[in-house]
Amino acid sequence: MSSITLRPAGVPGRYGSYGGRYVPESLIPACEAVAEAFSQAWADPGFRGSLAALLSAHVGRPTPLTPAVRLSTELGVTVLLKREDLTHTGSHKINNVLGQALLARRMGRTRLIAETGAGMHGVATATAGALLGLPVKVFMGERDVERQAHNVFRMRLLGAEVVPVTTGSRTLKDATSEAMRHWVTDVDEAYYCVGSVIGPHPYPMMVREFQRVIGDEARRQCAAELPAATPDYVVACVGGGSNAAGTFAGFVETSAKLVGVEAEGGSGATNGEIGVLHGFQSLFLQDEHGQIKEAHSIAAGLDYPGVGPEHAYLRDLGRARYVTASDGEAIAAAVRLARSEGVLPAIESAHALAWVVRAAGTPELPRGSTVLVTLSGRGDKDITTLIAEAELA
Ligand SMILES: *Cc1c(COP(=O)(O)O)cnc(C)c1O
For residues 354 and 82, the answer to whether their CB atoms sit within 8 Å is no
Among 72, 84, 115, 217, the active-site one is 115
State the sign of the Cα–Cα–Cα–Cα dihedral 162, 168, 173, 179: negative
Residues 87 and 107 in one domain: no
- Residue 260 Cβ inside 6 Å of ligand 1? The answer reads no
User: Does position 2 have pLDDT exceeding 60, yes or no?
Assistant: no
Domain assignment present for residue 84? The answer is: yes
Q: Quick one: pLDDT at residue 5? A: 37
Q: Which of 172, 203, 234 is the last residue of a domain?
A: 203
- Residue 241 Cβ inside 6 Å of ligand 1? The answer reads yes
Q: Which of 152, 177, 203 is the last residue of a domain?
A: 203
Distances (CA, A) of 111 to 95, 153, 179, 354: 19, 20, 13, 39
Terminal C-alpha separation, the chain: 47
- Residue 377 Cβ inside 6 Å of ligand 1? The answer reads yes
Q: Name the residue range of residue 347's domain.
A: 60-91+212-389
Q: Name the residue at shortest CA distance from atom 13 of ligand 1.
A: 377
137 catalytic residue (yes or no):
no
pTM: predicted TM-score of the whole model, two decimal places: 0.96
Nearest-CA neighbor of 22 among 41, 38, 2, 37?
A: 2
Residues 80 and 181 in one domain: no
Query: How many domains is the chain built from?
Result: 2
CA of 5 to the centre of ligand 1 (A): 31
- Residue 176 Cβ inside 6 Å of ligand 1? The answer reads no
Distance CA 17, CA 274 (A): 9
Helix, strand, coil percentages (3-state) for the chain, rounded to 5, are 50, 20, 30
Domain assignment present for residue 339? The answer is: yes
Q: Residue 346, by phi and psi: left (phi above 0), alpha (psi -120 to 50) or beta?
A: beta
pLDDT in tens, 217-262: 999 999 999 999 999 999 999 999 999 999 999 999 999 999 999 9
**11: confidence class by pLDDT, cuts 50, 70, 90:** low
Residues 147 and 285 in one domain: no
Domain assignment present for residue 3? The answer is: no
For residues 281 and 17, the answer to whether their CB atoms sit within 8 Å is yes
The identity of residue 209, as a single letter, is: E
Among 72, 196, 376, 389, the active-site one is 376
- Mean pLDDT along residues 180-194: 96
Q: Name the residue at shortest CA distance from atom 5 of ligand 1.
A: 239
Among 72, 82, 93, 389, the active-site one is 93
Q: Which range has the worst mean pLDDT, 84-93, 118-127, 229-238, 384-393?
A: 384-393
- Residue 13 Cβ inside 6 Å of ligand 1? The answer reads no
Angle, to 10 degrees, between the axis of helix 203-225 and the axis of helix 93-106? 130
Q: pLDDT above 90 covers what percent of the chain?
A: 88
CB atoms within 10 A of CB 280: 28
Residues 217 and 365 in one domain: yes
Angle at the Cα of 388 (from 174 to 173), degrees rounded to 5? 10
For residues 116 and 195, the answer to whether their CB atoms sit within 8 Å is yes
Residues 133 and 268 in one domain: no
CA of 194 to the centre of ligand 1 (A): 12
- Residue 95 Cβ inside 6 Å of ligand 1? The answer reads no
Question: For the domain that residue 341 is a member of, what is the CATH number?
Answer: 3.40.50.1100
Top pLDDT among 373 and 296 is at 373
Residues 87 and 97 in one domain: no
3 catalytic residue (yes or no):
no
Nearest-CA neighbor of 140 among 130, 127, 125?
A: 125
Domain assignment present for residue 2? The answer is: no
Q: Quick one: pLDDT at residue 3? A: 36
Distance CA 384, CA 393 (A): 9
Residue 115's DSSP bridge partners are: 139
Q: Which of 203, 230, 263 is the last residue of a domain?
A: 203
Residues 118 and 236 in one domain: no
- Chain centre distance of CA 140: 17
Angle at the Cα of 199 (from 196 to 202), degrees rounded to 5? 95
Looking at the CA of residue 349, tell me the nearest atom of ligand 1. 11
CA of 360 to the centre of ligand 1 (A): 24
Looking at the CA of residue 377, tell me the nearest atom of ligand 1. 13
Residues 230 and 178 in one domain: no
Q: Name the residue at shortest CA distance from atom 1 of ligand 1.
A: 301
For residues 266 and 306, the answer to whether their CB atoms sit within 8 Å is no
Domain assignment present for residue 1? The answer is: no
Residues 185 and 237 in one domain: no
Angle, to 10 degrees, between the axis of helix 28-42 and the axis of helix 45-54? 90
Q: Which residue among 100, 138, 302, 374 has the greatest number of ligand 1 atoms within 8 angstroms of its CB, and so is best to mutate?
A: 302
Residues 125 and 249 in one domain: no
Q: Quick one: pLDDT at residue 9? A: 45
Residue 82's DSSP bridge partners are: 65, 374
CA of 252 to the centre of ligand 1 (A): 20
**12: confidence class by pLDDT, cuts 50, 70, 90:** confident
Looking at the CA of residue 117, tell me the nearest atom of ligand 1. 1
**1: confidence class by pLDDT, cuts 50, 70, 90:** very low
CB atoms within 10 A of CB 384: 10
Taking each continuous run of H as one helix and of E as one strand, the counts in the chain are: 15, 14
For residues 226 and 179, the answer to whether their CB atoms sit within 8 Å is no
- Mean pLDDT along residues 356-371: 98
Domain assignment present for residue 5? The answer is: no
Q: Name the residue at shortest CA distance from atom 7 of ligand 1.
A: 242
Nearest-CA neighbor of 261 among 214, 315, 219, 220?
A: 315
93 catalytic residue (yes or no):
yes
For residues 134 and 112, the answer to whether their CB atoms sit within 8 Å is yes
Q: Omega of the bond prior to 64 within 30 degrees of 0, cis?
A: no
Residues 103 and 84 in one domain: no
Looking at the CA of residue 84, tell me the nearest atom of ligand 1. 13
Residues 139 and 242 in one domain: no
- What value does the mean pLDDT of the chain take? 94
